[in-house]
């Protein structure tokens, strides 16, 4: 006899309930306040690969479990702020990959906040999108969590809404995404996500950049051309060039976001031992173009010998 998805889900939830006694939960929490627990989120933790078939958790998964809770804690205040301001929250996860974050958020919208939401993950990897849709069904969140195959730069929000939320207000100002997130979208895909968020006037943009290679490539070309400026010593040192260029890329992103009227904070994405790609840029739209940050970006680009990040062209400052 083949069990339905709902029966399999009920089966696993039952197993988790019996396995995760109060004593085991307290040991797992070891004094911390975690929102996601095997007792209240068994299907989520199974979908993320953190619970075994018998609902137990390995030592390695326990470390990832702590990261899951840390990640939710980072986003929670920002999303609760959006929840207080909007009746139905729309979130776009750009370059969602296996969609770790969006599964957690979909769970939180259903189980913690009980707030209306639509979360859409896009990625140019069709295989992952098909897999995510199946997991979304298994987790019972497919009503609010949808996936589509699309390159970030070509993402058409109106088309995505028409596909996944046909009842949304056709006025794009009223049906914009409230949040655009991109975790470890490779190299300039992060810039595509930021540009998309700025263009759609998302209230909140959060990116954890990775593989920021664009400036380092430009600096190498400048070294080959013998172009002189204060950063020249870094141009000739591949390791330093990559490291400095990655940080300069993120600083340039911060200034461009500020120039577009976002209030920006940067922080560690997760515990420092977990990943070397550990910067999280969080930006909240306040609406006023910030001329000083626009000038600071121009100064920074000039100081770097005129090398700019592609986000500058993807999200140009308005001239008025």
Ligand X SMILES: C[S@@+](CC[C@H](N)C(=O)[O-])C[C@H]1O[C@@H](n2cnc3c(N)ncnc32)[C@H](O)[C@@H]1O
Write out the residues near ligand X by the rule CB under 6 A: 95-98, 100, 123-125, 128, 151-152, 183-186, 189, 192
Shortest distance in whole angstroms from residue 152 CB to ligand X: 4
Shortest distance in whole angstroms from residue 314 CB to ligand X: 12
Shortest distance in whole angstroms from residue 293 CB to ligand X: 26
> Measured from the CB atom, is 129 or 231 closer to ligand X?
129
* Alpha helices in the chain, H assignment, sequence order: 5-19, 22-29, 42-47, 59-85, 100-108, 126-138, 157-164, 189-199, 214-224, 232-235, 238-259, 291-303, 311-314
> Measured from the CB atom, is 22 or 272 closer to ligand X?
272
Shortest distance in whole angstroms from residue 237 CB to ligand X: 26
Q: Is 30 exposed, middle or buried (0-12, 13-18, 19+ CB in 10 A)?
A: exposed
> Measured from the CB atom, is 56 or 98 closer to ligand X?
98
Rounded CA gap, 257 and 154, in Å?
A: 20
Distance of CA 217 to the CA centre of its chain: 25
Report which residue's Cβ sits closest to ligand X: 97
Shortest distance in whole angstroms from residue 211 CB to ligand X: 8
> Measured from the CB atom, is 97 or 197 closer to ligand X?
97
**3-state secondary structure at position 107:** helix
> Measured from the CB atom, is 151 or 233 closer to ligand X?
151
Shortest distance in whole angstroms from residue 134 CB to ligand X: 16
Residues contacting residue 304 through CB under 8 Å, at least 6 positions apart: 215, 219, 229, 231, 248
> Measured from the CB atom, is 124 or 279 closer to ligand X?
124
CB 35, CB 70: distance < 8 Å:
no
Q: Is the dihedral of CA 185, 276, 264, 315 positive or negative?
A: negative
Closest C-alpha among 192, 166, 168 to residue 94: 192
Shortest distance in whole angstroms from residue 96 CB to ligand X: 5
Rounded CA gap, 274 and 142, in Å?
A: 30
DSSP 178-214: SEEEEEEEETTHHHHHHHHHHHTT-SEEEEEEE---H
> Measured from the CB atom, is 207 or 304 closer to ligand X?
207
CB 280, CB 208: distance < 8 Å:
yes
């Amino acid at each position: 006899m083949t069990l339905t998805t709902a029966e399999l889900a009920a089966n696993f939830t039952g197993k988790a309930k019996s396995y995760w006694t109060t004593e085991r939960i307290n040991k797992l929490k070891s004094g911390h306040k975690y929102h996601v627990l095997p007792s209240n989120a068994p299907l989520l933790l199974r979908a993320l690969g953190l619970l075994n078939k018998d609902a137990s958790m390995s030592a390695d998964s326990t470390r990832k479990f702590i990261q899951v809770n840390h990640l939710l804690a980072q986003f929670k205040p920002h999303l609760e702020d959006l929840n207080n301001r909007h009746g139905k929250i729309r979130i776009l996860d750009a370059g969602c990959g296996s969609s770790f974050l969006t599964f957690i958020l979909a769970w939180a919208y259903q189980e913690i906040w009980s707030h209306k939401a639509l979360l859409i993950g896009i990625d140019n990897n069709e295989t992952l999108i098909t897999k995510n849709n199946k997991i979304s069904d298994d987790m019972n969140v497919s009503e609010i969590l949808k996936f589509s195959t699309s390159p970030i730069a070509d993402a058409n929000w109106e088309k995505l809404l028409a596909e996944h939320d046909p009842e949304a207000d056709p006025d794009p100002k009223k049906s914009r995404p409230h949040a655009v997130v991109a975790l470890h979208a490779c190299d300039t895909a992060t810039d595509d996500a930021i540009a998309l968020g700025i263009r759609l006037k998302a209230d909140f943009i959060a990116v954890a950049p990775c593989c920021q290679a664009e400036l380092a490539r430009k600096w190498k070309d400048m070294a080959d051309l013998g172009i002189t400026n204060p950063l020249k010593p870094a141009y000739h040192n591949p390791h330093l060039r990559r490291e400095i260029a990655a940080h300069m890329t993120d600083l340039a992103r911060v200034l461009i976001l500020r120039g577009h009227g976002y209030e920006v904070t940067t922080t560690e994405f997760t515990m420092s031992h977990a990943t070397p790609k550990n910067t999280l840029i969080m930006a909240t739209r306040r609406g006023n173009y910030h001329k000083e940050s626009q000038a600071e970006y121009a100064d920074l680009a000039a100081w770097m010998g005129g090398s700019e990040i592609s986000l500058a062209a993807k999200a140009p400052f308005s001239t008025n």
